[in-house]
């Protein structure tokens, strides 16, 4: 087993140098650790106990650029309880596969010891590269099944269900199946580059699922995870997954691209995953178009947007051209009336709160609301009229966001 081979490498180096040694994967998740020689610090102890370190420590480590290192180097975390350490990147065939760590109290490592650490890292790279090839073949198979699982073709979906069962990936106990969609908001980098970075980041997030199953599928700017859990996913678990993906992606892209997420409903049968997938993708689309929902949009918490984002862009643009808003736009060259009506609805019809948000006097807001009623022929005292205006504003905002998003992508 690769884990056993890594353990041999770690133990051999530790005994030779009489220093504790550890190997992490690229996400700073522990793969193997030697016994200690009294040189451990709280970060190392936490890593051994939890098999990982807190997200903020991962971010601190990656901030030093170790993902781009090709030779061993000394790293100081700048934390009071963290000992300086030697980081030897574990690479093979040009791929970063992890990090080998030596604690370095007082900078006492000799050139020969640093060289030994580099040689051990090279050996570990060969072991991890072999394991990577095996995992990639298995992952490619699972990814193909996942794509079929959400196909619009019923026969293809049925075959994918049979294939998943044949793979025996899931436990026999009742499952809670949840789809997490990931959408890249990209800069001007090539799609191919983003695809590689996105896949690495999503794979890092999947590792937060330790006792259950997480399968992933990616393309150039989108990805999704199928979480197969023995209990419904907690908010903490989802937050941990998205945090790990975000941190990893930020460092791989050096902050030039960002991600949003869409969480679908939890279902209990494989034949329900296709619908959960569609809703997760729509939730992610909502996060793209409506920044106010946050970076993670959860289906079931999006109110009217769950209906509105099902519309095709052309249908949405047409629906947004309601007579009320057309008249309002014609009479509102500077957009003051539309902004005031939006704030009024966003604050639950509270004129006081809307006026404060707009930094105007309440009397000024009332004047604008009366003008809106005159232009549109609607009454803000009527529930149906308020609904028509509010829905029209939501459609308009989505249509504008769709158009801007399409222009940016183009």
pTM of the model: 0.65
Q: In this predicted structure, what is the pLDDT of residue 365?
A: 93
State how far the Cα of 259 lies from the Cα of 382, in Å rounded to an integer.
40
Low-confidence ranges of the chain (pLDDT < 70): 1-3, 80, 186-194, 404-410
Q: In this predicted structure, what is the pLDDT of residue 410?
A: 38
**DSSP secondary structure of 305-330:** HHHHTTS-HHHHHHHH--HHHHHHHH
21-24, strands of its sheet edge to edge: 30-33, 21-24, 95-103, 85-92, 73-75
CA angle 99, 4, 94 (to 5 degrees): 35
CA angle 266, 271, 273 (to 5 degrees): 40
State how far the Cα of 394 lies from the Cα of 400, in Å rounded to an integer.
10
258-263, strands of its sheet edge to edge: 213-218, 222-229, 176-185, 258-263, 296-298
CB 310 within 8 A of CB 289: no
C-alpha 122, offset from chain centre: 31
Q: Where are the beta strands (DSSP E) in 293-396?
A: 296-298
Q: In this predicted structure, what is the pLDDT of residue 168?
A: 85
Q: In this predicted structure, what is the pLDDT of residue 80?
A: 65
Domains of the chain listed by start with CATH number: 2-131 (3.30.450.40), 173-302 (3.30.70.270), 313-409 (1.10.10.2840)
Torsions phi, psi of 103, nearest 5? -70, 135
Q: Where are the beta strands (DSSP E) in 114-190?
A: 176-185
Owner of token pair 């073709």? 153
pLDDT digits (tens, 9 = 90+) for 291-331: 778 899 999 999 888 888 888 878 878 888 889 888 988 88
């Amino acid at each position: 087993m690769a884990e056993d081979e890594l353990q041999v490498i770690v133990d051999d180096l530790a005994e030779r140098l009489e220093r504790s040694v550890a190997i992490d994967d690229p996400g700073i998740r522990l793969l193997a650790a030697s016994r200690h020689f009294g040189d451990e610090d709280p970060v190392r102890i936490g890593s051994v106990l939890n098999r990982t370190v807190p997200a903020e420590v991962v971010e601190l480590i990656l901030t030093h650029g170790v993902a781009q290192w090709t030779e061993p180097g000394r790293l100081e975390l700048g934390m009071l309880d963290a000992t300086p350490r030697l980081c030897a990147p574990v690479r093979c065939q040009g791929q970063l596969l992890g990090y080998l760590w030596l604690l370095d109290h007082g900078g006492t490592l000799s050139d020969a010891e640093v060289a030994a650490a580099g040689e051990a890292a090279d050996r570990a790279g060969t072991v991890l590269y072999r394991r990577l090839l095996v995992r990639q073949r298995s992952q490619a198979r699972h990814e193909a099944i996942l794509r079929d699982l959400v196909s619009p073709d019923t026969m293809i979906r049925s075959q994918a269900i049979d294939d998943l069962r044949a793979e025996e990936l899931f436990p026999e106990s009742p499952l809670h199946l949840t789809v997490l969609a990931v959408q890249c908001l990209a800069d001007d980098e090539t799609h191919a580059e983003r695809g590689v970075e996105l896949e690495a980041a999503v794979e890092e997030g999947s590792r937060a699922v330790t006792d259950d199953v997480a399968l992933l599928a990616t393309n150039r700017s989108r990805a999704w995870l199928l979480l197969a859990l023995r209990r419904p996913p907690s908010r903490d678990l989802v937050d941990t997954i998205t945090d790990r993906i975000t941190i990893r992606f930020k460092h791989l892209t050096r902050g030039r691209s960002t991600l949003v997420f869409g969480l679908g409903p939890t279902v209990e049968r494989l034949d329900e995953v296709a619908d959960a997938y569609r809703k997760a993708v729509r939730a992610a689309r909502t996060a793209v178009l409506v920044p106010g929902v946050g970076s993670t949009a959860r289906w079931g918490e999006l109110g009217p947007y769950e209906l509105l984002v099902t519309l095709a862009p052309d249908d949405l643009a047409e629906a947004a051209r309601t007579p009320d808003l057309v008249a309002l736009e014609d009479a509102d060259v500077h957009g003051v009336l539309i902004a005031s009506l939006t704030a009024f609805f966003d604050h639950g019809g509270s004129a006081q709160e809307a006026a404060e948000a707009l930094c105007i006097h309440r009397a000024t807001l009332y004047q604008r609301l009366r003008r809106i009623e005159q232009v549109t022929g609607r009454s803000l005292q009527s529930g149906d009229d308020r609904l028509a205006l509010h829905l029209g504003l939501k459609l308009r905002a989505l249509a504008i966001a769709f158009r801007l998003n399409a222009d940016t992508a183009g």
